[in-house]
Chains A and B, each alone.
Chain A
Amino acid sequence: MSRLLLLSPLLLFLGLAYLLPLSGVMLQSVTTPEPGLQNYSAALGDPLVWSVIWRTLRVCLCVTVLAVVLAYPLTLLWLKGNTATRVLVELAIMIPFWLSVLSRAFGWLSLLSNRGLINSWLQSLGIIAEPLTMVRNEFGVVIGMMHFLIPFAVFPLASAMRSVDDRVILAARGMGASRMRIFWQIFVPMTKSGIVGAALLVFVFSLGFYIVPTLLGGGRSVMIAELIYLRIFQIPNWGLAAALSALLMVSIGAFLVALIKRAGVSTT
C-alpha cells in the first residue's frame, strides 16, 4: 500500500503526460472524422503507406546491423584498450550524448551534401568529377541514424562483455586456440545476449526517428514518423495519422514481446 503511495506521483505524471494523450490518439484513430475502422483500412490499403513502411524497415534494419557491428569493436576498445585508448573511446561515446540530434543532423548535412566538405574535398583532389549524392537519399539517413545510435548499442554490449569470465578465455588459449577462433567461437557467442539486446534497443529506437530522416532524407526518403507528421500538418488528416501512430506502436510492442519471449535478453 505504502509502496503504491510512494509511486503515485510518478504514476500520476505518466498518466497525465503519456496515457491520457495516448488514449486520445487511440480514440481519434477510430472516431475521426466518424466512428469506425475506416482510418485503418485506408492506411493499410494505401500503397504509399506500405512503401513508407518497407523503407522504414529497410533503413532501420541497415542502421541496426551497422550500428551493432561498429559498436562491437568500439566497445572492445573501450573495455580492453590501454588507458589512453579507453579515455579517447569514452569521450567519443559520451560527447554525442551531449549534442542535440538537430545539430548532429546539420553536421552530417554539411559533410555529406553536394557542396559539402567531403564532396568538395574529393573534387578538389580530382578523385571525382561530379559530386556524389550522399544526402536526400537512404544513404544519408542511414549514416545519420547510425551515428546517433552507436552509443546506445555500446552499453548493452559492454555489460555482456564485462560478464565474460576471463578464465574461460585463458582456458581456450591454453588449449592452443588461435585468437580468431577464440574471438568467433568463444567471445562473440558468450556476448550474444548483449548483441541481441543492443540490436533490439537500436532497432526499436530507430523506428520512431523523425529529425534525422527529415533532414538527411530531404523529403525523399520519408519514414513512418515523418509520414505521420505530414498527415497531421500538411494534409490535415488526424484520423489517419492517429491510425498510423497506433499501428506503429502496436507493431513495436508486438515485436518486443515476441523477442523478449524468445530469448532471455539483457539490455542493461
Chain B
Amino acid sequence: MSARKPAIEAIDIGKDYGTFTALSDVSMKIMPGEFLTLLGPSGSGKTTFLMMLAGFEAVTRGFLKINGFDKTHADAESRGFGMMFQGYALFPHMTVEQNIAFPLKVQKRPKSEIRDRVTDMIDLVGLSGHGHKRPSGLSGGQQQRVALARALAYEPPVLLLDEPFSALDKNLRGQMQDELRRIHAKMGTTFVFVTHDQSEALALSSRVAIFDQGKLQQLADPTTVYERPSTRFVAEFLGDINVLPAIFDGPVSKVGDFSVTLPEAPAASARHIAVRPEKLALQPESSQIGLPCVITDRIYMGAQSRLQLSSVADGSPLVIDIKTADLSSAAEPGHQIRVGWAAKDSLIF
C-alpha cells in the first residue's frame, strides 16, 4: 500500500473563518480505495475539512495534493469528487428520478443506461415507487437516501459523504451501512465518510480520523483507535473508559495500593491510568490484590451486565462490564469487591 500514491494528501491544512480558526494543521494521506471515517463531536471541523477536500471551501493554510498533483486552489469541477452534503442539497424542482439522473446526464451517458442505473439506485436505497415525487414530498430519511443514491449513481472515484445516515432509523441505517460496505468492496471507490456515530465509524472504516476542536487527534485503524487511543480525548470519545489518578515510579504505577508494572516507564507528564470497562476483572473474593471498591449499582444489559463501583480509597467512580453469567450473587450493591486489570490494558495519560 505504501508503494502507491495517495489519492488525497493533506499537508498542514488549516481553515479560518474571519478570526475564528475552524481547522488547524491537519495532515493525512488517504489511499486509493480506502474507507476513511472522520469522527468527532459537533463543531470539530469535519464538514469544513470535507468541503476543502471537495474544493467548495477555500484553503486558508497548507497544501492539498490529489493523485500527487497540487490541487490546493483548484476548483471543485477539476477534482471530480462526488459529494453528499449534510443538508442533502437535492434539486427541489426535480423528481427523485431526475435528481439521480442529473449527474449521469452531465456525463452524457446513453439514455437507456441512465434509465437502468436510476432504477437500480432507487431500488438500492429502498425507494421504489417514490421515483416521481419531488424532494418536498419525501420524509427526511427518504431525502437522505435520494442524496446517497445520487452520489453513488455516477461512480466518482472519490466519494465524500457527510453524515449520510444521520436521519435513518436503526434498521435502515444498518441496511444502508451494509450496502455501502458492499459497494465499497465492489467498486474500489475511495470513501471519506463523516459521522457522529462511533460504532458506525468502527464498523465501516479501514481507518478512522478523530477530530476535536479543529485538530486531528488520531488517525489509525479502528482497533488501534479503540485499544490504543493516543490522547485522553480519543479514549473518552470512543466508548466508555475508567480514568483513575495514579502515581508513577518508573514502570511501576500505583492506583491507591494496587500496583501494576507497565511494560515500560511512561512519560514524566503521565498522571492517569485508563482502562476500558470490559478490560476490568473482578478478583476472587479471597484475593488480596486488586483495587478495593464498593458496588453502587448493578445494571442488567442482557448478555452483559454493568457494575458501577466506587473506589474505597478515594471514592472515584468506576464501571465494569462482565458477562451476566459470570456474576456471582455477591455482586450486589453495598458489597465490597476488588477489581484488577492486566498491565497491557492500561492506557497512560
Contact = CB atoms under 8 A, between A and B. Distances in A.
Interface of A: 165, 167-168, 170-178, 181, 185-186, 189-190, 192
B80 interface: yes
18 contacts: A165-B87, A168-B90, A170-B76, A170-B85, A171-B83, A171-B89, A172-B91, A173-B56, A173-B76, A174-B55, A174-B76, A174-B81, A176-B80, A176-B106, A177-B103, A189-B93, A190-B92, A192-B93
B77 interface: yes
Contacts of B337: none
B102 interface: yes
Interface string B127-155: 00000000000000000000000000010
Given A174-B81, A176-B80, A181 B106 contact: yes
B25 to A, nearest CB: 26
B82 interface: yes
A126 B80 CA distance: 55
B114 interface: no
Given A170-B56, A170-B83, A176-B77, 9 more contacts: A170-B76, A170-B85, A171-B83, A171-B91, A173-B76, A173-B77, A174-B76, A174-B77, A175-B102
Given A170-B56, A189-B93, A190-B93, A175 B87 contact: no
B23 interface: no
Nearest to A171: B89
B54 interface: yes
Interface string B47-85: 000000011100000000000000000011100111101
Nearest to A170: B56
A15 to B, nearest CB: 41
Interface residues of B: mostly helix, strand, loop or mixed? loop
Contact of B89 (A165, A181, A192): A165
Interface bin, chain B: 20 to 34
Given A176-B80, A189-B93, A167 B87 contact: yes
B56 A174 contact: yes
B107 interface: yes
A190 B82 CA distance: 22
Interface of B: 54-56, 75-77, 80-83, 85, 87, 89-93, 102-103, 106-107, 154
B91 A168 contact: yes
Contacts of A181: 106
Contact of A167 (B55, B81, B85, B106): B85
Q: Which of A167, A174, A185 is the most central at the interface, judged by chain B CB atoms within 10 Å of its CB?
A: A174
A168 B77 contact: no
A177 B106 contact: yes
Nearest to A165: B89
Contacts of B92: 168, 190
Closest 5 CB pairs of A and B: A175-B103, A167-B89, A171-B89, A189-B93, A174-B83
A174 B75 CA distance: 9
Contacts of B54: 174
Q: Which of A165, A171, A189 is the most central at the interface, judged by chain B CB atoms within 10 Å of its CB?
A: A171
Given A170-B56, A170-B76, A176 B107 contact: yes
A173 B76 CA distance: 7
Contacts of B76: 170, 173-174
Contacts of B82: 174-175
A194 to B, nearest CB: 13
Contacts of B91: 168, 171-172, 186, 190
A166 to B, nearest CB: 9
A91 to B, nearest CB: 29
A180 B101 CA distance: 18
A189 B80 CA distance: 25
A6 B85 CA distance: 48
A165 to B, nearest CB: 7
Contact of B102 (A165, A172, A178, A192): A172
Contacts of B56: 170, 173-174
Nearest to B93: A189
B219 to A, nearest CB: 25
A171 B80 contact: no
